[in-house]
């Protein structure tokens, strides 16, 4: 790549003199999967690309930690939709990455089969498996009934409100005692999917997502191999926090925290929605009103993980260990990584308000809290030898886990968030129309932004590339099947 296309320190003239003969230049902001995918695609198309990333690592909300001596994903860990239609399928198959399928259900609620749970009450008594399955089925019926409520009401409402209307109409679906606590646990799992509390999830939109087929597969080796493969040989500048973006006569001037500026023909902005909402980047001229309202109106949820590594495995050989309680807030669950990866690791997962509460604790306190929950189920649990705690809600590089639909918001928000503003292109999970909140949705959004940017700049610059724009074309040639365990 010719670094002279990006003029550092503001010598604008140098750039203007050169651009007639050089390939177009693009600054990609954010080194998560969407930014890396965009940079990869444009780089493959012979564009000059620099990627600016605020952290000292790439991956963003894909963050595989290796400090336990084994891969532990503190951000995304599932491939939602183990099928060839998944935009990540060619790459995953090509790299031979293993998947552990936790469910072959295509619904957004059950990324684990009902049989794979072990639930306990707060006194450490195991909930009979039959009850777990029965209440799971009742929960599905309740949710089906909420569709009728949606059809009857013009105005949106929360899924919690709809559930309470259903239970008023169908007293036979109401649960009591232990069964009630199990129902709360299913609501807790629903909150985990949306990273939001059930009183904020939109009835109109919660099931409108286009869920891919093939069920849900855990990335056994973690998500990083995929990130690293995509990022190979790209010009990535770590510790470059963008603070200002100026659009000036067909150019974009991007300034980072230390005052250095990068000039290019276009920019692709992939920072998380939480970062845009917090106005951590100054736009000049200011973004148009239709874009600003899309930024402010899409919800941002929160989800955190507390990973505990043990010397030995003392817990049952199930995928999920859950604790039931009187409210969904007080329910909890651990993902048993040992089942999928063979490593003695449990991951406690929390969402919504609870995820923010956890971030108020020190990491040590958070790990102690997770242990106290574990000991309610398994009183003889041994102490962990190590722990990791995520802080997605307060980390200034993210400010939330992923986008979610709030009650009563218009449906075109994602399209507006995605739409370019002249030579500023937007990508990232929250701009994905069909697969927001996911790794594959973020990846596709990066490719889409790169394609649009390439088309626009190629016309403007009379630049015709001869190379493939996208990696997927190269890789679909290689017909390696998915490597899946527990089919
Ligand atoms: C706890 C958790 C669990 C999840 N589980 C799953 C799952 O199992 N499966 C799934 O499909 N999805 C899951 N997701 C969602 C998935 O991780 C995201 O949708 C996806 O990784 C987002 O990618 P992105 O490129 O849009 O954003 P990001 O990965 O957040 O990338 C944006 C990048 O911008 C950088 N940045 C921020 N501010 C600046 C700035 N000012 N200047 C320069 N760079 C900046 C950030 O550091 C970051 O690297 C999960 C997310 C979380 C948090």
Q: What is the mean pLDDT of each run of 10 residues along the chain (487 residues)?
A: 42 37 90 98 96 98 97 97 94 95 68 76 93 92 95 95 96 96 94 93 87 91 98 98 96 98 98 98 98 96 98 94 95 94 96 96 98 95 98 98 91 94 98 95 98 93 59 53 72
Token code pair at residue 173: 């679906």
Cα angle 307, 37, 106 (rounded to 5 degrees) comes to 60
CA–CA separation, 8 and 463 (whole Å) = 24
From the CB of 77, is ligand 1 less than 6 Å away? yes
Residues near 36 by Cβ (< 8 Å), separated by ≥ 6?
Answer: 51, 58, 227, 230, 231, 234, 446
Residue 123: count other Cβ atoms within 10 Å of its Cβ.
Answer: 8
CA–CA gap between residue 370 and residue 184 (Å, rounded): 19
Asked whether the beta carbons of 334 and 188 are under 8 A apart, the reply is no
Q: Which of 207, 242, 215 is nearest to 53 (CA)?
A: 242
Q: Which atom of ligand 1 is nearest to the CA of 439?
A: 11
Pocket lining: 34 vs ligand 1, CB cutoff 6 Å = yes
Instruction: Say yes or no: CB of residue 403 within 6 Å of ligand 1.
Output: no
Ligand 1 midpoint to CA 61 (Å): 3
CA of 475 to the centre of ligand 1 (A): 24
Distances (CA, A) of 457 to 47, 291, 460, 467, 477: 10, 22, 5, 16, 29
100 CB less than 6 Å from ligand 1?
no
Do 444 and 87 contact (CB within 8 A), yes or no?
Answer: yes
For the Cβ of 418 lying below 6 angstroms from any atom of ligand 1, the answer is no
60 CA from centroid of ligand 1 (Å): 4
d(CA 105, CA 328): 23
Tally Cβ neighbours within 10 Å of residue 5: 23
* Pocket perturbation via mutation, ligand 1, pick of 73, 92, 272, 277 by most ligand atoms within 8 A of CB: 272
Ligand 1 in reach of 242 Cβ (< 6 A): yes
Whole-number pLDDT of residue 460: 86
HSE-CB for 172 with a 13 A CA cutoff: 2
Distance 273 CA to ligand 1 centre (A): 10
Please work out whether the CB of residue 55 comes within 6 Å of at least one atom of ligand 1: yes
Contact 82, 101 (CB under 8 A): yes
pLDDT of residue 486: 62
Q: Is 6 in the pocket of ligand 1 (CB under 6 A)?
A: no
Q: Where are the domains of the chain?
A: 3-60+222-297+409-479, 109-208+303-389
For the chain, what is the total number of helices (H) and then of strands (E)?
15, 23
Instruction: Domain 109-208+303-389: state its class.
Output: alpha beta
CB 73 less than 6 A from any atom of ligand 1: no
Q: Within 10 Å of residue 116's Cβ, how many Cβ atoms?
A: 15
Which residue minimizes the CA distance to atom 11 of ligand 1?
A: 438
The answer, yes or no, to whether any atom of ligand 1 lies below 6 A from the CB of 113, is: no
Q: Which candidate, 475, 485, 479, places its Cα nearest to that of 226?
A: 475
The closest residue, in CA terms, to atom 14 on ligand 1 is 76
Q: Any residues with CB less than 8 A from the CB of 342 and at least 6 apart, and which?
A: none
Give me ligand 1 centre to Cα 152, in Å.
37
Query: What is the pairing mode between strands 303-309 and 386-389?
Result: antiparallel
Nearest CA to ligand 1 atom 35: 30
Does the annotation list 478 as a binding residue? Answer: no
Residue the block writes with tokens 């889409």: 448
Q: Whose CA is nearest to atom 1 of ligand 1?
A: 75
List Cβ neighbours of 25 (8 Å cut-off, separation of 6 or more).
5, 6, 15, 19, 47, 48, 49, 50, 263, 264, 265, 266
Angle between helices 177-194 and 129-152 (to 10 degrees): 60
Mutational test site, ligand 1, from 39, 60, 219, max ligand atoms within 8 Å of CB: 60
| 479 exposure class (CB count in 10 Å sphere: 0-12, 13-18, 19+) | exposed
pLDDT score, position 21: 54
List CB contacts of 222: < 8 A, sequence separation 6 or more: 64, 71, 72, 73, 77
Distance from the alpha carbon of residue 156 to the mean position of ligand 1, in angstroms: 28
Query: Residue 3: what pLDDT?
Result: 40
Q: Would you say the CB of residue 61 lies under 6 angstroms from ligand 1?
A: yes
Hey, which residues does 424 pair with through a beta bridge? Answer: 267, 421
Asked whether the domain spanning 109-208+303-389 has the same topology as the one spanning 3-60+222-297+409-479, the reply is no
- Predicted confidence at residue 149, as pLDDT, reads 96
Check whether 211 is labelled as a binding-site residue.
no
Tell how far the Cα of 464 is from the centroid of ligand 1, in angstroms: 32
Sign of CA dihedral 106, 110, 114, 118: positive
Check pocket membership of 378 for ligand 1, CB cut-off 6 A: no
- Straight-line distance from the first to the last Cα atom of the chain, in angstroms, rounded to the nearest whole number: 44
The residue whose CA has the least distance to atom 48 of ligand 1 is 60
CB 401 near ligand 1, within 6 Å: yes
Spatial CB neighbours of 443, under 8 Å, sequence gap ≥ 6: 33, 34, 37, 87, 88
Is 249 annotated among the ligand-binding residues?
A: no
pTM flag (> 0.75): yes
Q: In 339-411, at which residue ranges do the beta strands (DSSP E only) sit?
A: 345-351, 386-389, 403-404
How remote is the CA of residue 402 from the centroid of ligand 1, in Å?
7
Q: Give yes or no for residue 272 CB within 6 A of ligand 1.
A: yes
**CATH, domain range 3-60+222-297+409-479:** 3.50.50.60
Backbone φ and ψ of 158, nearest 5°: -80, 155
How far away, in angstroms, is 349 Cα from ligand 1 center? 17
Residue from 36, 40, 61, 101 to probe ligand 1 pocket by mutation (most atoms less than 8 Å from CB): 61
Q: In whole angstroms, what is the distance from residue 181 CA to residue 170 CA?
A: 18
């Amino acid at each position: 790549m010719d670094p002279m296309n990006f003029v550092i320190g503001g010598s604008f003239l140098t750039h203007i003199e050169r651009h007639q003969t050089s390939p177009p230049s693009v600054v990609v902001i954010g080194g998560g999967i969407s930014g890396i995918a965009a940079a990869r695609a444009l780089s493959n198309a012979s564009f000059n690309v620099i990627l600016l990333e605020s952290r000292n690592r790439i991956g963003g909300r894909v963050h595989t930690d290796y400090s336990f001596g084994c891969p532990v994903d503190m951000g995304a860990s599932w491939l939602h939709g183990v099928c060839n239609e998944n935009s990540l399928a060619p790459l995953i198959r090509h790299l031979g990455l293993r998947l552990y399928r936790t469910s072959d259900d295509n619904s957004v609620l059950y990324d684990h089969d009902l049989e794979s749970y072990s639930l306990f009450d707060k006194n450490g008594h195991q909930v009979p498996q039959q009850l777990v399955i029965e209440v799971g089925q009742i929960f599905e019926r309740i949710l089906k009934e909420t569709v009728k409520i949606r059809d009857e009401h013009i105005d949106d409402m929360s899924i919690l409100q709809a559930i309470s209307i259903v239970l008023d109409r169908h007293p036979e679906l109401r649960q009591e005692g232990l069964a009630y606590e199990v129902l709360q646990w299913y609501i807790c799992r629903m909150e985990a999917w949306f990273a939001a509390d059930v009183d904020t999830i939109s009835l109109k939109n919660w099931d409108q997502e286009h869920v891919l087929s093939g069920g849900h597969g855990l990335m056994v080796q973690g998500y990083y191999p995929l990130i690293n493969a995509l990022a190979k040989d790209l010009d990535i500048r770590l510790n470059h926090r963008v603070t200002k973006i100026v659009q000036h006569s067909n150019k974009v001037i991007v300034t980072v925290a230390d005052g250095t500026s990068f000039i290019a023909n276009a920019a692709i902005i992939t920072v998380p929605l939480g970062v845009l909402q917090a106005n951590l980047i100054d736009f000049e001229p200011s973004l148009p009103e239709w874009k600003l309202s899309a930024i402010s109106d899409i919800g941002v949820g929160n989800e955190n993980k507390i990973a505990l590594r043990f010397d030995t495995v003392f817990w049952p050989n199930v995928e999920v260990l859950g604790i039931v309680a009187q409210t969904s807030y007080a329910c909890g669950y651990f993902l048993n990584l040992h089942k999928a990866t063979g490593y003695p690791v449990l991951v406690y997962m929390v969402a919504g308000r609870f995820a923010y509460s956890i971030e108020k604790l020190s990491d040590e306190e958070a790990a102690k809290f997770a242990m106290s929950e574990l000991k309610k189920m398994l009183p003889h649990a041994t102490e962990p030898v190590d722990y990791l705690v995520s802080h997605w809600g307060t980390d200034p590089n993210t400010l939330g886990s992923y986008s979610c639909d709030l009650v009563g918001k218009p449906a075109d928000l994602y399209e507006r968030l995605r739409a370019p503003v002249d030579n500023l292109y937007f990508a990232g999970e929250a701009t994905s129309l069909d697969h927001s909140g996911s790794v594959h949705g973020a990846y596709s959004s990066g490719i889409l932004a790169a394609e649009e940017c390439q088309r626009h700049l190629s016309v403007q610059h009379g630049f015709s590339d001869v190379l493939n724009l996208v990696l997927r074309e190269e890789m679909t040639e290689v017909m390696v099947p998915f490597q899946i365990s527990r089919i």
